[in-house]
Amino acid sequence: MPFGRQLRITRRGVLLTLLVLVVGFGLIQLVPYRYDNPPVKQEPAWDSPRTRALAVRACFDCHSNETKTYAWEDIAPLSWWITNHVKEGRKRLNFSECTRTGRGENDAAETVRNGRMPPGYYTWFGLHSNAELTAKEKADLAAGLAATLRGWDCGSGEGGGG
């Protein structure tokens, strides 16, 4: 086959390619890999209603058993990425599965203070814009988490990836 040979695009080839893509996209929707929302076991004793409200706004979609998504976020392959993200977030910190331990606080407050949570991409294009916190709200949330999580185990609290 000579290198100079032109690629001939036919209408039939384009339609066949589109059909394969559409069927493939439809088939991946059947892969049952989605997050779930198990029952809430126990939340920590929140230091104030404001701390809980800020945490619900900015953290609960990834760090609780009360995840809410837009309908289009349930479409594969995006749903697969979100499922991994939620599972990782819950592993690091899950406000729905806390136990009283008497140990010190975890790193959640520092993670909010240093700007790693909530992650910037979470509010891209105005999505989840309710999770965007002002500097004062971030400071209030960090202080509230430090007070709330003292003596509670809700996961490792290392929020860098979740």
Query: Domains of the chain: which residue ranges?
Result: 11-153
With a cut of 80, say whether residue 35 has pLDDT above it. yes
| Residue from 73, 62, 70, 57 nearest 37 by CA | 62
pTM of the model: 0.79
Summarize pLDDT for 48-96 with one digit per residue, the tens: 999 999 999 999 999 999 998 888 888 889 889 889 989 999 999 999 9
Largest CA distance in the chain: 75
What residues are paired with 97 via a beta bridge?
42
Helices and strands counted in the chain (H then E): 6, 2
* Cβ-contact 107, 160 below 8 angstroms: no
pLDDT band, very low/low/confident/very high, at 4 (cuts 50, 70, 90) = low
If you search the block for the tokens 């690629």, which residue do you land on? 7
